[in-house]
C-alpha cells in the first residue's frame, strides 16, 4: 500500500485512543458531573465514565474486571488462558468459561469472513509486532512460514477444553477481546444500578443505557491520519456501541510504503484494499469488534453487503480518498454529522 501521508508516525496507538476518549461529544449535561477513570490495558488507553447511578466502588470494580480479563486473555502474559493454549503444542488445555465464550464468538466471525478475520493469527501478529515495530518489515520467508500456521479451523473446543490441531499455531484474540470485555463491564454496571454512561476501550465505545433526558450520545469517528486529531463524522446513538478498525491505529512506514496492523492471513502482509477504516454501530460491542475487522478484510463491496444483511447493524467505511460510504440506516435510524 503506497503512502498517502507524511512519513512520520504522527498518530501512535496512545494518541489515537486518547482522541477516542474525547470523541464522546456532548454526552453529559453540565448539571451532572460524571465519575470517570482512565487506565492502560490491552495495549491501549481505556476510560469508563459513569454519569448516573454510579459510585467510586463500581468504577474501581470495572477496572478490576479489566485486570482480570487481561490476565485471562492476553497472549503476552504467560499464565493467561490464551498463552497456555499456545504453549501446549496441540495438547488440550482447560480454560475458563469466559475464554470459551470469547473463542466461540471469535470463530463465528472467522467463518463469517471466510478467514479474512482469523483468531489463529498469533504467529503473524507477533512477527510484525506493530506495538513496538519502528519500521522493520519482517523477512519474506518468515512471513510465509507464520502465515502457514493461520487457520481458524484448527481450533478445537470440547467443553471447557481447547486445543490447536496445528501445534505451531497461535491464537491472538486482540481483534475481538475488547468488545467482549466492554459487554461484560456494561452488564455488571447496569446490574448494579448505573443508568447512564460510557465505556471506551481504546476507541471501542459502548453506551450503557438511554439518557434520561431523551438526548443521544454523540460519538466522533476518527479522521484517519489527521495530526490535529480531527473527526471525520459524528454519529448520534442511544444504547449502542460504536467500534472502529483502522489502518492508522498501529502502523509504520518503510521505503515510503505504509504497513499497518490489519494483516491479511492469506498473504501475511497488511491488507491492500483501499480502505482506511470501518466503523460498525450495533448492540453488542463484541459483535462490533468482530464485524469491523471482518468487514475490513472483506473490502468495501462485500463488507457493505454483509452489513446490509444483518439486523440492527450499520457501518461507515472510509476509503483512501477519505470518502465516507454509509450503510442504508446511517442518516435515517442513526443521525450522521459529517465534519
Beta bridge partners of 52: 196
Q: What is the per-residue pLDDT for 291?
A: 97
Q: How many CB atoms within 10 Å of residue 312?
A: 12
> Exposure string (b/e) for 74-99, b if CB count within 10 Å is 16 or more?
bbeeeebbbbbbbeeeeebbebeebb
Residue 26 has pLDDT above 80, yes or no: no
The answer to whether the beta carbons of residues 219 and 242 sit under 8 Å apart is yes
Q: Which CATH architecture has domain 71-164?
A: Orthogonal Bundle (1.10)
Residue from 177, 222, 185 nearest 207 by CA: 185
Q: What is the per-residue pLDDT across 131-190, written as a single tens digit (0 to 9) for each? A: 899 899 999 999 999 999 999 999 999 999 999 999 999 999 999 999 999 999 999 999
Residue 10 has pLDDT above 50, yes or no: no
Higher pLDDT, 31 or 96: 96
Indicate the burial class of 164 (C-beta count within 10 angstroms; 0-12, 13-18, 19 or more): buried
13-63+176-338 belongs to which CATH class? alpha beta
Domain ranges in the chain are: 13-63+176-338, 71-164
Residue with cell 487457520: 151
Residue 31 has pLDDT above 50, yes or no: no
Q: What is the per-residue pLDDT for 227?
A: 73
- The pLDDT-based confidence of 18 (bands split at 50, 70, 90) is very low
The Cα–Cα gap between 106 and 172 comes to 10
The torsion angles phi and psi of 196, rounded to 5 degrees, stand at -160, 140
Amino acid at each position: 500500500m503506497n503512502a498517502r501521508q507524511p512519513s512520520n508516525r504522527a498518530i501512535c496507538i496512545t494518541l489515537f485512543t486518547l482522541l477516542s476518549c474525547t470523541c464522546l461529544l456532548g454526552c453529559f449535561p453540565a448539571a451532572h458531573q460524571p465519575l470517570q477513570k482512565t487506565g492502560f490495558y490491552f495495549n491501549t488507553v481505556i476510560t469508563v465514565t459513569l454519569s448516573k447511578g454510579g459510585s467510586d466502588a463500581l468504577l474501581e470494580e470495572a477496572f478490576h474486571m479489566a485486570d482480570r480479563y487481561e490476565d485471562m486473555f492476553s497472549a503476552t502474559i504467560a499464565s493467561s488462558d490464551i498463552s497456555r493454549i499456545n504453549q501446549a503444542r496441540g495438547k488440550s488445555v482447560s480454560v475458563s468459561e469466559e475464554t470459551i465464550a470469547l473463542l466461540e464468538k471469535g470463530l463465528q466471525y472467522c467463518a463469517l469472513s471466510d478467514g479474512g478475520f482469523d483468531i489463529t493469527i498469533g504467529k503473524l501478529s507477533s512477527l510484525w509486532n506493530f506495538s513496538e515495530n519502528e519500521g522493520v518489515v519482517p523477512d519474506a520467508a518468515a512471513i510465509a512460514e507464520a502465515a502457514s500456521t493461520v487457520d481458524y479451523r484448527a481450533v478445537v473446543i470440547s467443553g471447557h477444553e481447547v486445543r490447536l490441531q496445528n501445534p505451531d499455531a497461535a491464537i491472538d484474540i486482540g481483534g475481538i477481546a475488547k468488545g467482549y470485555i466492554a459487554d461484560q463491564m456494561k452488564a455488571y454496571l447496569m446490574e448494579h444500578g448505573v443508568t447512564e454512561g460510557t465505556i471506551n476501550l481504546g476507541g471501542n465505545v459502548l453506551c450503557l443505557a438511554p439518557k434520561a433526558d431523551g438526548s443521544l450520545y454523540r460519538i466522533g469517528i476518527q479522521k484517519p491520519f489527521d495530526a490535529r486529531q480531527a473527526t471525520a463524522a459524528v454519529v448520534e446513538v442511544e444504547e449502542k456501541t460504536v467500534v472502529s478498525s483502522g489502518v492508522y491505529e498501529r502502523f509504520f512506514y518503510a521505503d515510503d510504503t505504509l504497513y499497518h496492523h490489519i494483516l491479511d492471513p492469506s498473504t501475511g502482509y497488511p491488507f491492500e484494499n483501499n480502505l482506511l477504516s470501518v466503523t460498525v454501530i450495533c448492540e453488542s460491542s463484541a459483535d462490533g469488534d468482530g464485524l469491523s475487522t471482518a468487514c475490513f478484510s472483506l473490502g468495501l463491496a462485500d463488507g457493505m453487503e454483509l452489513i446490509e444483511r444483518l439486523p440492527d447493524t450499520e457501518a461507515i467505511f472510509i476509503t483512501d480518498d477519505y470518502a465516507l460510504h454509509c450503510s442504508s440506516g446511517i442518516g435515517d435510524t442513526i443521525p450522521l454529522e459529517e465534519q
